[in-house]
Amino acid sequence: MSIKMKILLIEDEPDLAAIIQTSLSRHQYVVDWAADGKTGWEYLIDNRTTYSLAIIDWMLPKMSGIEICQRLRAEKYTLPILMLTARDRMEDKITGLDAGADDYLVKPFGMAELLARLRALQRRAPTFQPERLQLGNLRLDYGNNAIVIT
């Protein structure tokens, strides 16, 4: 049985977003893409139980990745966040992690490293789970805390 993990990617560079989306979809991920911070924020807030993880670029139009992290954490949203950025100074990494990111990946990066970091986040995040899990005629619906017999 394979379970698809749904990820939200918030990245304003279309080429990079396409590469990430293609690479991840070859593994066990389904990737939604938002091209600016405000759209990404709305996806996250409107689909609270949908995403298992978010990959968020730092520099984004309309709302920065840092601001998204801060707002999510202020709302007690525990979704694991991997921050993408071209900023590699130690102070920037500290800012990113303090804003609520769980991990930090500096551009340019290899897809193999991105995948490894996603696996690591997946291992250690207790909230990383599919929205629904179907076992025969039994469905565990995590989003609604329900067990449904189908």
Least Cβ distance, residue 13 to Ca ion (angstroms):
6
Give the three-class secondary structure for 10.
strand
Site string for Ca ion, 5-24 (x = CB under 5 A): -------x------------
Count Cβ atoms below 10 Å from residue 137 Cβ, excluding itself: 8
Least Cβ distance, residue 114 to Ca ion (angstroms):
16
Residue 102 touches Ca ion, criterion: CB under 5 A: no
Q: How many CA atoms lie less than 13 Å away from 137 in the CB half-sphere?
A: 2
* C-beta nearest to Ca ion: residue: 59
Q: For residue 120, which amino acid is it?
A: A
> In the range 45-64, which residues lie near Ca ion by CB under 5 A?
57, 59
Name residue, tokens 């930090």.
104
The site for Ca ion (CB under 5 A) is made up of 12, 57, 59
